[in-house]
Amino acid sequence: MSFACALTALYGFPPNYVLTEEASKALAENPEEFKFLMDSLLPKMLVGGFTTVTIASVILAGIFVNLL
């Protein structure tokens, strides 16, 4: 799980939702398992993605403000 959350730094919001959904579809054998996987994986992936995108934006803004 930690490896998957670390990879969300590379993708950001839309792709990490799609990847989580596709992984859940591939692993689930019935709708109950799919719902369980989505409920347990998706919040972690979304928070990881939003956090890394926010941190990267602040760092890039700090670099670009020096260019102005």
- What digits encode the pLDDT tens for the residues 9-62? 677 778 888 888 998 999 999 999 999 999 998 888 888 877 777 777 888 889
| 3-class SS string, 3-54 | HHHHHHHHHCHHHHHHHHHHHHHHHCCCHHHHHHHHHHHHHHHHHHHHHHHH
Residue 20: its pLDDT value, please?
87
Q: Is the pTM of this model over 0.75?
A: no
Q: Collect all residues with Cβ–Cβ distance below 8 Å to 34 and sequence separation of at least 6.
A: 24, 25, 28
Angle, to 10 degrees, between the axis of helix 2-11 and the axis of helix 31-67?
50
